[in-house]
Amino acid sequence: MLSLSLINRINKLLGTTANAGYVLLIYLSLILVSTARPIYPLPSKTSNGSRQPLQTSRPYNIAHRGSNGEIPEETAAAYMRAIEEGTDFIETDILSSKDGVLICFHDVTLDDTTDIAEHKEFTNLDFTLEELKTLRVKQRYAFRDQQYNGKFSIITFEEFISIALDAPRVVGIYPEMKNPVFINQHVKWPGGKRFEDKFVETLKKYGYTGSYMSKDWLKQPVFIQSFAPTSLVYASDLIDSPKIFLIDDVTIPTQDTNQSYWEITSDAYLDYIKDYVVGIGPWKDTVVPVVHPYTYRNEEMFLHFNFHQDPYEEYDYWINKIGVDGLFTDFTGSLHNFQEWTSPLSKNNIGDDSATKLLNKIASLVASYKN
């Protein structure tokens, strides 16, 4: 359940409920630049110098599309929940609206995660930000909690950044340049700018800069990710922030090279791409010791039998045996709890006060099962 304080903060994000209507498929393309004002307030001007710094002593907890195991993905509520649960980074996919506003959304169709089918007023296939804001987001999977369906809107890249910058501690961002080939084919920015240019401009606007683990980076941590290696190479000339090359199933072709991921992960290509990226992010079933694998989920259909369908056994394998540097998870709280329970730092700090807190936690868990 969402805490009362989080619900109060989320309530101010909600707009008006859209009229019913219907449309099947859309793609998000761009013709003109928009100056649409975001619904979520942009970062405050107050100093965040006293915030707790990013933890760097254990693998990163990366909230995949927010805490979307609990709340519909890529919404302000999902990201705020992940921060509340202890995530190190909030992750998002960046696409563009028809009028050129970068938004947080995974698919190039709206069917699976919005109420677009109820909007008969839309007869076109391209949507402005204003039109997209009338939609409400829903859970992707029917077996997950449906109580928050229809409560939250699509957010912009700038609104996403503001959530991280206004967090009570330093929280990094992990945005993906999503389908850049597709976007650049359908989007024409003034001055011949590309999707990658607008993406980097937004990061720079809010002060994101610096190589991995530099002073500037630790102040506002960011990883730039993409499945398209040519976009990462292009972005490397624009910003020095660390980049992650995402790798899909090895049989799938990349969208920008006409090669499979098997071909593009050859020793020769990795020797080339290493000059532009700090690491790779593979699908977790591509079982190799790498940096930030994805995606870890709690439901039994996503868990391997060799881990007895136990998410904590899976975390233990990847963190303590393989030694990855971070994990993408739909369940931020589960990974955070595992790391807190197993962290050497936590063990060293166990005293009377910690023991009392632990007993209180156990008592509350037991109480929740009574009656």
CA 271, 212, 340 angle in degrees (round to 5)?
A: 110
Domain boundaries along the sequence of the chain: 4-44+57-368
Q: What is the pLDDT of residues 86-107, one digit of tens each?
A: 999 999 999 999 999 999 999 9
pLDDT value of residue 49: 63
Structural contact between residues 161 and 206, judged by C-beta atoms closer than 8 angstroms: yes
Please give the pLDDT value at position 239.
98
pLDDT for 208 equals: 98
Backbone angles phi, psi at 198, to 5 degrees: -65, -40
Residues of the chain short of pLDDT 50, as ranges, are 13-40, 45-47, 287-289, 347-352, 368-371
Contact call for residues 138 and 132 (beta carbons, < 8 A): no
- Burial class from Cβ neighbours inside 10 Å (0-12, 13-18, 19+) for residue 81 reads buried
What confidence tens digit (pLDDT) does each residue in 224-260 have? 999 999 999 999 999 999 999 999 888 889 989 989 9
Please state, in angstroms and rounded to a whole number, the distance separating the CA atoms of residues 207 and 164: 12
Both tokens of 173, joined, read 């961002």
Which CATH number applies to 4-44+57-368?
Answer: 3.20.20.190
